[in-house]
Chains A and B, each alone.
Chain A
């Protein structure tokens, strides 16, 4: 040991390090653990009350010695004029700073969506503490979704995180993060697709109310009232509550389940335009390069081994290319889709041996034709919705502006108003179905 110290005596780097540590020591020696000071928020729920105030709920980590990690989460709710005020109120309530670095999702309500979500997200874009990839989710009752997620997590049941993981690659809807929402808001089309995840009430008594956004707020107010009576501070103006796991919010959540319907909300320039149901969304996801699994249902198919059967076809692989062209001054948007399919399920009144044969029960020409027709039908249906409501779901404005800038500008000049650009766009789809294998 002494010879090491003798060597170090002549080592300038060693002394430099010592002095550096000595300089930093006063600033860190009495520093408390960040988890004592910061409420590590994993999810946020934002809603709008009947008084046009913001109701903010956070699910944050409260370290406890427990075998169950989910017992360490707590939900705190408060109401204030703006999101920033609500965050300050919650900090006062829980005695910690709200730490957003681990926030996985921000859930907002339909009321917020119908107002202008950007007003409520603005505080998050200005803080560097929120992770860049925090997901945003639309829900009729964000706080109920949060409490149900917490309750189901404790039961090791389906939780929101599990659903979001599944959505990532396999589902009807794709995840949308806050940065993408802003990026799409500012691009030429301004279209964002936000997944909708609701809460289904399984109990008899509070059946329909909880489904609506108004019911959601009412529940929050009830929870606020109950816990405000038990907690300190019964002020009427600031209705804040901290619901711990095991109290009335968990009891209410026990009758509820998370319901991933597969619906999506279409936002244009930050405003909610339409909610598209799962059946119409399936074609969007088939045409998305990011979803790995899709399926197609075709009805009343008759071929050599089945009669009037419904077939469920799984899409195993797909190659999608899109072309934007101008033909005679009019925009043509073409989707070229090649899919490798396999037959997943047959629903029929009668089954033949061939229908379950490994060799024979493959996708034949009749089925391929039916698949193509079905895809074209769904595509046309979605385009009609887009044209009727003037929603640029396929980001036509963005694609043509970037690829055919001059021609697109000339085309827009021809129109009565720029908003009607969808009407004269020709949408085509070419489908090539490859059998499995």
Chain B
């Protein structure tokens, strides 16, 4: 038990040239900044470390490395082993509007050379940032061109093709969340276990979709799509939801005068004839969004069932190694709850309508 409770530290390097937008995106994702507030940020001096508790047992050890040439120089020389050892993920940010593409690429190649030297198994996420500055019609072309260059560099430096991913981002839309969701999904250690548990839950609730969000960052950890929802035309709906929830959080923070990091709603419900939707807390730092078909009784049953399921997930959150046997236990339990609870749910639904 001792061992499984220990937190898993993952080192994440955030690099890129000065002014590329590294600290901006970090502030937005992790420190609840609004996109327009980031212009207040100054240049990062040397490395800013931040430890972010994520999903109970996962601790992100984020190194935001200042991008000015003198700092980069020192990372590559006297701090080389300190910076580049045991890196899980390197996030390299390119400013797509940069006028000095060649110099950017040169910096990138020396960075990943050092990375390959000390942590050859790490994953590289290349973010083509500030996409909003590129006119819409030129986006695909520019992106393809730049990523081809970068990919060639990576392969030159010895990285395999599947170790590198490219994502266009902009702090002004949800593309930033899409990219970071990928990073998080890669880092979450027990994603597949969580996924299979969620799938089970989804079947029991007869939900169309379940989405698990991290509470403070609103990043999607994982999601389950069932039945007709797979045909949902909005492929980017998870990022959209992240950004919707984050915006909501800000507006609430402004309203109550508290810090954005402290605001979190207990529950949100949206009911229409077409679908029913609710978001509620699942574990200490995750929220679960459930999309249901438009049926009031099933909806109320689902709300209660999610409450019951909480403790199973809580357990999983800490004890990642016990995932397997837990799951068996969970299967039995949840089925039992379901049969008992759908009755309760039915009752509460009737109570609600039996008004004056």
Binding partners A and B: no
Residues of B at the A interface (CB closer than 8 Å) are none
